């Protein structure tokens, strides 16, 4: 049963070891640009490997370039359940073109996987500090727009990964763009947040 009549929905997907609530301040900042949108920030389905109250979308224990794609595939059912619940709550399962996925780090990896695999033909994706680590072949559905924002000084995920992801998505015919922020590490800055808000607002005209 839908509990919202919002015209669009922004789903924030947190990084490993974090919680959905950690990204909700972005909703407050973005609301003026998206007055008819609802916002959701679900927790990842699995407890963080490092302990504490944090959550994760897939395990990063002993993760490597070789085994990461399979971990993403294994994480898809649980991710899809979480995402479906968030979208269904706002009555937009049949209007995925009005949904935006906004992920940071591991959350962004899953957001890019959602569109690259064709499982979630949403309207827009904003990927902060991310990479496209999904196994090929890529089979996107629809025309999701993508903005990838990355700090040039990111010590966790190199900014080159974002450039490679955007290049791959463009080869698939998607409208994908990158923005590399000089001197920025593995974080979402105020400038990055503003870029994301403007991008999503432009993707969902009032």
> Tens digits of per-residue pLDDT, 165-204?
999 999 999 999 999 999 999 999 999 999 999 999 999 8
Give 3-state DSSP helix, strand, coil % of the chain, rounded to 5.
35, 20, 45
Q: What is the pLDDT of residues 88-126, one digit of tens each?
A: 999 999 999 999 999 999 999 999 999 999 999 999 999
4 pLDDT tier (thresholds 50, 70, 90): low
Average pLDDT over residues 65-91: 96
Give the per-residue pLDDT at 93: 95
Residue 47 dihedral angles phi and psi, to the nearest 5°: -65, 145
Number of structural domains in the chain: 1
Which pLDDT tens digit goes with each residue over 145-169?
999 999 999 999 999 999 999 999 9
Flag whether 3 is in a domain.
Answer: no
Q: Give the pair of three-digit tokens for residue 115.
A: 């569109």
Please tell me the predicted confidence (pLDDT) of residue 51: 87
171 located within any domain: yes
Nearby residues of 58 by Cβ (< 8 Å), 6 or more positions away: 46, 71, 72, 74, 75, 106, 110
**pLDDT given at position 2:** 42
* pTM for the model: 0.95
**Residue 78 phi/psi, 5° resolution?**
-70, -40
The Cα–Cα gap between 145 and 164 comes to 16
Is residue 49 domain-resident?
yes
Residue 1 lies in a domain: no
Q: What is the DSSP string of 81-138?
A: HHHHHHHHHTT-TT-GGGEEEEEETHHHHHHHHHHHTTS---SEEEEES----PPSPP
Residue 1 predicted with pLDDT over 70: no
**Residue 51 half-sphere exposure, CB side, CA atoms within 13 Å?**
0
Residue-wise pLDDT tens digits, 10-47: 999 999 999 999 999 999 999 999 999 999 999 999 99
Check pLDDT > 70 for residue 131: yes
The answer as to whether 68 is a domain residue is yes
pLDDT tens string 46-71: 999 988 999 999 999 999 999 999 99
Domain that holds residue 115: 8-203
What CATH code is carried by the domain that includes residue 13?
3.40.50.1820
């Amino acid at each position: 049963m839908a509990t919202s009549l919002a015209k669009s929905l922004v789903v924030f997907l947190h990084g490993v070891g974090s919680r959905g609530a950690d990204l909700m301040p972005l909703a407050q900042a973005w609301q003026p640009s998206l007055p008819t949108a609802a916002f959701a920030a679900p927790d990842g389905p699995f407890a963080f490997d490092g302990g504490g109250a944090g959550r994760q979308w897939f395990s990063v224990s002993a993760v490597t370039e070789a085994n990461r794609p399979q971990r993403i595939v294994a994480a898809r059912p649980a991710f899809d359940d979480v995402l479906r619940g968030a979208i269904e709550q706002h009555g937009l399962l049949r209007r995925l073109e009005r949904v935006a996925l906004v992920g940071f780090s591991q959350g962004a990896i899953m957001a890019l996987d959602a569109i690259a695999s064709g499982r979630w033909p949403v309207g827009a994706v904003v990927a902060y500090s991310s990479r496209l680590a999904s196994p090929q072949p890529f089979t996107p559905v629809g025309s999701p727009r993508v903005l990838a924002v990355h700090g040039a000084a990111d010590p966790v995920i190199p900014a080159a990964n974002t450039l490679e992801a955007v290049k791959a998505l463009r080869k698939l015919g998607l409208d994908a763009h990158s923005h590399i922020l000089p001197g920025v590490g593995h974080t979402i800055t105020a400038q990055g947040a503003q870029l994301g808000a403007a991008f999503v607002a432009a993707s969902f005209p009032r």
